[in-house]
Chains A and B, each alone.
Chain A
Amino acid sequence: MKLPVALPSALSPLRRYRSAGFPYRAPTIPRGVAPAPTEETTGAHYDTAWARRLPARMARAAIVDGPMRLVVSGLAAPDRRGQDRLDSLDGAAIFAANHHSHLDTPLMLTSIPEPWRHKLIVGAAADYFFGSKLTSVLSSLVIGAIPIERSKVSRRSADQAAELIREGWSLLIFPEGGRSPDGWGQPFRGGAAYLAQKTGRPVVPIHLEGTGRILRKGRSFPRPSTTSVTFGRPMTPRDDENATRFAARIEAEVAALADEASSDWYRARIRAHARDSPGLTGPRSGAWRRAWALGDRSRGGPKRAHRWPQL
């Protein structure tokens, strides 16, 4: 009697799959034939429309106002200032903030007031947040991200963002294009300014302070600290201003807000009018001197409760 030869393979579907050929496996491409272009479904090509439909929006609202708010409160203890400056803002806006940490987005999502908070999309790096199907789904669902190309010049991202803004969605964008590598800011790119010009909607400058202490670039585990979020007055491009100049003005306004957060509002306004606000990008010097100068910037750092009365 002859035993069945393929017993081990019959018990192993994986092995059987591996040994199976076409049509169970994808066909191989003959040499000399150009492969048909594949349609990309991740990166800048990921379609996020589903994440702006009602079920996803409700799920996101529950996440943002529930666990995300708890985590942000626990990790960052945010001090939110200047929300009253949005009092006269009507309709969609582009929220432009400096960028230090992955915590910036949750912090902003829980800080931007109603009615903008729950009709908000977030410009996220296509190559980072939309690198795979899984990260694309999570980014779209949890933070309402849309992919923004940062590695190559492409109108696709900007056109999609502009269209959504015109439909009444507000946009959160980090014009620096990525997280700060050393605690200092990076020059603002023109994306927010370009979108403001294209859609006619105002830009709300925002300064974030302290998130770098919690989870700076390169760190895996957060360390609780205090943060501040300072909203500025909505800005619109002037008639004679191109996107580059407007971007510079947004950057200057964020720098003035940074000055306000680290000193006081009136001193900051005096320096802003004199074009003397400390820059976001820090001194042009060696790494250690930049790190050294960074020490002066924050108003306080984590505040510890006094265990004993001060005598």
Chain B
Amino acid sequence: MSADPRRQAPRPGFVLDVDKSTPPILFHHGEQFRLEKLPADRSRVIYPAEPLPGLPDPDESIRQALLNPIDDDPLPSLLTAGMKLTIAFDDISLPLPSMRKPDIRQRIIEQVLDMAAAAGVDDVHLIAALALHRRMTEAELRHALGDRIYDAFAPDDALYNHDAEDPDGMVELGLTRHDEQVTMNRRAAESDLLVYVNLNIVSMDGGWKSTATGLSGYSGIRHHHNVKTMRESKSFMDRHKSELHHSNWRQGEVIKTHGPRIFQIETTINNNTFGYDGPLHVLQKREWEWTARDRATFIGMKKGLDVMPAAARRKIFQGWQAPYELTSVQAGDVDAVHEATLEHCFAQHIVPVEGQTDVLTFGLPYICPYNVTSVMNPILVMCLGLGYFFNMYRGKPLVREGGVLIMSHPTPWEFHPVHHPSYIDFFEEVLTDTTDPIEIEARYEKQFAEDEWYIHLYRNSYAYHGVHPFYMWYWGASALQHLGRVIIVGGDTRAVRRLGFQPASTMQDALEMASDVVGPRPSITHLHNPPILMADVT
């Protein structure tokens, strides 16, 4: 273990008031970076906490969690020979970027399976709970689960991706007290025990959302992935104030009554996204602490990236695997486990912030949950900015109602034809007509969701479901309603305008454009993310 003192005594996140001596601030800009000088005396920068120390012996911690679960019986006592056991796990969208081997899912599932082997359980299936996301490839499954598990189960078709459009593979479990349908993967629903292995990178993940969304289909997911629910989720990162989660929890009640017995395993990881050394470690440091070597590294990296073709840049960044460390693992009852998970998640991410701001800025990185080994298309830019980053708050949004959001991202007019076929049509057909989420939902959603070709590609290729771009748009619906203007710095002008946002060449231009909405000398807050942080706004 490194002697780096930050590893043992990480500093918490904090808010920096920008003055004249503050160096230019790092903005992620897709696969590139920008250094921006923010106006002194009216700007502040929210920095994330340094990575919390990882558990010293992850395997032993996992074993203890399985043997001493919260509000549940030890896992070995739930396993019997002749039973039907299903293990579901989070898909490729977690964590971001993907973690270095061995992945946490492999560590956990190997121990679960070893206990199942001790009990002589023969009938075991493993399912990637991907809801309406694209299927995981063999290489991705091998990375998440390891070769041992893959080679033991995949050849017998006992390890596979969830298929929400398989007419024989889904089952209706009933209706919630709000008349929301609850559907579930048939194998999981008919199992004697469903073990769910989760990986919480942000507080939105986990809990009943794991099973109620991850193993569900369009008929169940549409009850919470809609404009009304998203607008009433303030924010969807705050489970107790998120209508998205309330709906999932109501579906969880139905699963509890009519579905399988569930043993939930949840984990949290630290903020060690770019490592303490290596080519990207500088991205994890505060700017005024960059050494001469850090600055040389950054300059070299930036110059190199600026002259590199976009495809080469993408290949480099998509190949990065984060040295995340496990900070907690808890198992047992879904509700109790999730509350413990949230505490650990907040311990890493929460930064107290006083008051809202007129202008919120952030630099969007190269990756979001839906473009792993893929292209961050304009719709995903909108989703990551207005959906994820805007919602990284507890209490109140960081930016006041009617305020301005300035994002930095190249926003290329580019789509992955295999992963995002329905996004292309959404961009060309829907957004040319309207950008209003309500109108989009009413006029176009059903047509895309039930399109046979998209369903075929979702089931047999590696495409996101036809309805997925709609959900991306709804994800930002709350922010769209809240904000007075959205400006993208350094983006493809046509693509930005298609999204309904305003393009700007420089941050200075963007701030001037913002002053049309929020007046001269607005207060500015920059969210220095990633590594991930969540503002607790009072």
Residues of A that sit less than 8 Å from B by CB: 81-82, 84, 87-88, 260, 264-267, 269-270, 272-274
Contacts and interface: CB of A to CB of B under 8 A. Distances in A.
B120 A274 contact: yes
Nearest to A260: B148
B147 interface: yes
A84 B101 contact: yes
B104 to A, nearest CB: 12
A267 B102 contact: no
Of the candidates B59, B117, B153, the one having the most CB atoms from chain A within 10 angstroms of its own CB is: B117
B117 A270 contact: yes
Given A88-B57, A265-B152, A273-B120, 17 more contacts: A82-B148, A84-B101, A260-B148, A264-B148, A264-B152, A264-B153, A266-B149, A267-B152, A269-B113, A269-B114, A269-B117, A269-B118, A270-B117, A270-B120, A272-B117, A273-B118, A274-B120
B387 interface: no
Contact of B102 (A87, A269, A273, A274): A87
B475 to A, nearest CB: 35
Contacts of A81: 147-148
Contacts of B101: 84
B147 A266 contact: no
9 contacts: A84-B101, A84-B146, A264-B153, A265-B149, A266-B152, A267-B152, A269-B114, A269-B117, A270-B122
A272 B116 CA distance: 12
Nearest to B147: A81
B117 A266 contact: yes
Which 8 A-B pairs rank lowest in CB-CB distance, beginning with the nearest?
A269-B117, A264-B152, A265-B148, A266-B152, A273-B118, A270-B117, A265-B152, A84-B102
Contacts of B67: none
B195 to A, nearest CB: 14
B174 interface: no
A264 B148 CA distance: 7
B280 interface: no
A229 to B, nearest CB: 13
Nearest to B158: A266
Contacts of B148: 81-82, 260, 264-265
A147 B147 CA distance: 37
Contacts of B117: 266, 269-270, 272-273
Contacts of B122: 270
B452 interface: no
Nearest to B100: A87
Nearest to A270: B117
Interface in B39-58: 57-58
B151 interface: yes
Contacts of A270: 117, 120, 122
B99 interface: no
B70 interface: no
B59 A265 contact: no
Contacts of A272: 117
Interface string B54-78: 0001110000000000000000000
Nearest to A266: B152
A273 B58 CA distance: 23
Contacts of B483: none
A274 B147 CA distance: 23
A267 B151 CA distance: 11
A147 B124 CA distance: 48
B57 A266 contact: no
A294 B169 CA distance: 43
Contacts of A84: 101-102, 106, 146
Nearest to A90: B1
B102 A266 contact: no
